[in-house]
Homo-oligomer: A and B are copies of this chain.
């Protein structure tokens, strides 16, 4: 059986919420959504967001109703909440917070999508999303489900995190086998993938993270060559980096900025590449902290510091996502996730992105996965 299909023709039907396998799942009268009420200053506070209960609206012609299954929580969202100059429009006040999700089509008013289709794309912090089908086509892609590949991975190692790691490492950082790659926030969603990809590429890989537990995880479970605990005050960070990177640093993949960036700059080799992926240490600051005083090492070391935005590589997402999927399915790339249950947990979970309490990609499960196709159906 292939499931769904009723919605492909013409107008939406009330019974179009048919699901694969177990038949139609009931469509609730209401859903919960999180709206941006106030632009955050500093760490996002309870009053910046509002959890509201609203009716689930049936799609009109050309519209699609999605049930969001998994929601990705990402530091970049903090940047979209404020009205600063960024690479994407800020989220409007009163609007649902924008976010990447895995979603299932439950009712379709467009021939472009059928109930049962599972998509990864940009919707929002809500249980159901009503979206324009043509916009949805641009902002999402269908997931080909595969045994051994959980849907949630499409938000982490096979999705935004993995793509960010890949393009930042290989297209901006360009490490050569044998070179030393240093990555900060190494136990996070991006860092865990950066380190493993660099190892597969034949590099020496060192991670900066917080706490002995995370350091052990990087080395023992993910195969990093060394890990540096940035919260260890027994020696200056730059000394710890010197010990962990005896041959210096050829590529530094920076997710944090601040003192870690400044220390890493003091260890770069001639011709090094500093990849600017994020600056989580300062993303919540109300005023910009001082920049890296050792930026001038870029001159004496003829090195480069370069920012990138994964969005710019969109034409290559499918190709690279397929490569990441193959690596993860074959066990060469371990997917490290921290799963939170229920939309009501989102505001607090989002804060932990910045307080560093979680290991791996932070994802929220909003609804159970629809059963995968049986093998015979593929």
Contact = CB atoms under 8 A, between A and B. Distances in A.
A146 to B, nearest CB: 33
Interface string A316-357: 000000000000000000000000000000000000000000
A232 interface: no
A262 interface: yes
A303 B299 contact: no
A291 B293 contact: yes
A85 interface: yes
Given A291-B292, A296-B307, A303-B307, 15 more contacts: A87-B301, A277-B299, A282-B296, A288-B296, A290-B291, A290-B293, A292-B292, A292-B295, A295-B295, A298-B305, A298-B306, A299-B308, A300-B309, A305-B305, A306-B306
A121 interface: no
Given A291-B290, A295-B291, A307 B312 contact: no
A257 B299 CA distance: 11
Contacts of A262: 291
A289 interface: yes
A272 to B, nearest CB: 10
B300 A308 contact: no
9 contacts: A85-B300, A262-B291, A276-B296, A277-B299, A290-B290, A291-B294, A300-B307, A302-B312, A306-B306
- Complex A-B, nearest 9 residue pairs according to Cβ-Cβ distance, in ascending order: A290-B290, A291-B291, A299-B307, A288-B293, A298-B307, A291-B292, A304-B306, A276-B299, A291-B295
A378 interface: no
B308 A305 contact: no
A278 interface: yes
A276 B305 CA distance: 11
A279 to B, nearest CB: 5
A279 B291 contact: no
Contacts of A276: 295-296, 298-299
Interface of A: 85-87, 257, 262, 276-279, 282, 288-309, 312
A167 to B, nearest CB: 11
Contact of A86 (B279, B290, B300, B309): B300
Contacts of A288: 293-294, 296
Contact of A305 (B86, B279, B295): B295
A296 B262 CA distance: 13
Nearest to A299: B307
A293 B289 contact: yes
A298 B298 CA distance: 14
A76 to B, nearest CB: 10
A87 B300 contact: yes
A168 to B, nearest CB: 10
B279 A299 contact: yes
A300 B307 CA distance: 7
Nearest to A311: B302
Nearest to A271: B312
A84 B199 CA distance: 34
